[in-house]
């Protein structure tokens, strides 16, 4: 019987800054060396994956050329079902079943956390393969670490509703849960909707509630600020004042 390979969960850099400059700062040398040895890949986006691997090659030479690597894209079961794709997680793990180590790479941050990949990791476990997470940046944990909010009890909520009324109702629900449980609520937003999200927070949440914004985490333009909603209202009195946050990757954290 062929021994199964190991599935390595490979972190990617955050933001769009040059990866050659980011790598030494955000990925340990052991992680970079491990990435360089992998030939078989499942990635969220092949273009992004190739950019990271090119940067890795400048620090630790790749085991083969990028062109020789076997790379499949996976953006989550729901998305594949939506477009009628018949591919299943186990189908993408055939190299693993043949005894080859594989890498699972997210477009940014870490696989399976606010990004596709959990289905593939579960499939690897069901096959009996070893799963090895590699150390790298997670905006969610970086934001929580630096927020000053409750790091003993927290919940990640993913993306909130886009509809303005539904978003406001959801914010009030999260605020009530946070107050009842003493729990930090964490969520993310598509960067081009940052202004709308912050405006909704300012208009919907209680003045004493604490809101942290973690912006451009791990990048030179990083900004991490925790203020009460009353203080946020003074800093950003209208939606136009929030424009500086637009199109910048941001993590939102709330403690009521």
Q: Is the pLDDT of residue 75 over 70?
A: yes
Instruction: Report the chain's terminal Cα–Cα distance, integer Å.
Output: 55
Give the span between the Cα atoms of 159 and 213, in whole angstroms: 15
- Residue 68 structural domain: 6-133
Q: Is the pLDDT of residue 191 over 70?
A: yes
Q: Which range, of 107-111, 159-163, 176-180, averages the lowest pLDDT?
A: 107-111
Question: b/e per residue, 2-12, with b = 16+ CB within 10 A?
Answer: eebbbbbbbbb
**What's the confidence (pLDDT) of residue 53?**
94
146 with 184, same domain?
yes
Under DSSP, the state recorded for 107 is S
Q: Is the pLDDT of residue 170 over 90?
A: yes
Assess if residue 91 is contained within a domain.
Answer: yes
Q: Where does a domain end: 70, 99, 133? A: 133
Residues comprising the chain, all counted:
256
At 222-240, the pLDDT tens digits run 999 999 999 999 998 877 7
Confidence of residue 76 (pLDDT cuts 50, 70, 90): low
212 with 162, same domain?
yes
**What's the confidence (pLDDT) of residue 86?**
65
Average pLDDT, rounded, for the chain:
90
Give the span between the Cα atoms of 107 and 48, in whole angstroms: 6
Work out how many domains the chain is built from and give that number. Answer: 2
CATH number of the domain within which 79 lies: 3.40.1010.10
User: HEC string of 128-166?
Assistant: CCEEEECCCCCHHHHHHHHHCCCCCCEEEEEECCCCHHH
CATH number of the domain within which 169 lies: 3.30.950.10
Average pLDDT of the residues in 146-170: 95
At 96-146, the pLDDT tens digits run 999 999 999 988 889 988 888 899 999 999 999 999 999 999 999 999 999
**What's the confidence (pLDDT) of residue 60?**
94
150 with 86, same domain?
no
Assess if residue 116 is contained within a domain.
Answer: yes
Strands (E) in 17-166, as ranges, are 40-43, 70-73, 102-105, 130-133, 154-159
At 1-47, the pLDDT tens digits run 668 999 999 999 887 777 888 888 889 999 999 999 999 999 988 99
Average pLDDT of the residues in 183-194: 93
Percent pLDDT > 90 in the chain is 70
**What's the confidence (pLDDT) of residue 142?**
95
Residue with tokens 């955000």: 26
């Amino acid at each position: 019987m062929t021994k199964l390979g190991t599935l390595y969960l490979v972190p990617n850099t955050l933001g769009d800054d040059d990866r050659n400059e980011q790598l030494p700062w955000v990925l340990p040398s052991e992680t970079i060396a491990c990435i360089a040895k992998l030939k078989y890949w499942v990635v969220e986006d092949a273009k992004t994956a190739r950019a990271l691997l090119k940067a890795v090659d400048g620090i630790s030479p790749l085991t083969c050329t990028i062109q020789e690597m076997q790379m499949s894209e996976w953006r989550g079961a729901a998305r594949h079902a939506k477009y009628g794709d018949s591919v299943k997680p186990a189908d993408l793990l055939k190299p693993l079943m043949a005894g080859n180590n594989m890498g699972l790479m997210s477009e940014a941050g870490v696989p399976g956390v606010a990004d596709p990949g959990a289905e593939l990791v579960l499939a690897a476990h069901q096959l009996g393969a070893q799963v090895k997470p590699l150390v790298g940046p997670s905006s969610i944990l970086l934001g929580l670490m630096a927020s000053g909010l409750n790091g003993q009890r927290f919940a990640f909520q993913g993306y909130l509703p886009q509809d303005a009324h539904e978003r406001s109702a959801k914010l009030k629900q999260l605020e009530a849960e946070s107050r009842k449980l003493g729990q930090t609520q964490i969520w993310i937003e598509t960067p081009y909707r940052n202004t709308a999200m912050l405006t909704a927070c300012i208009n919907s949440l209680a003045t004493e509630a604490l809101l942290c914004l973690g912006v451009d985490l791990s990048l030179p333009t990083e900004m991490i600020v925790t203020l009460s909603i009353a203080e946020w209202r003074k800093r950003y009195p209208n939606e136009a004042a929030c424009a500086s946050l637009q199109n910048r990757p941001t993590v939102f954290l709330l403690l009521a």
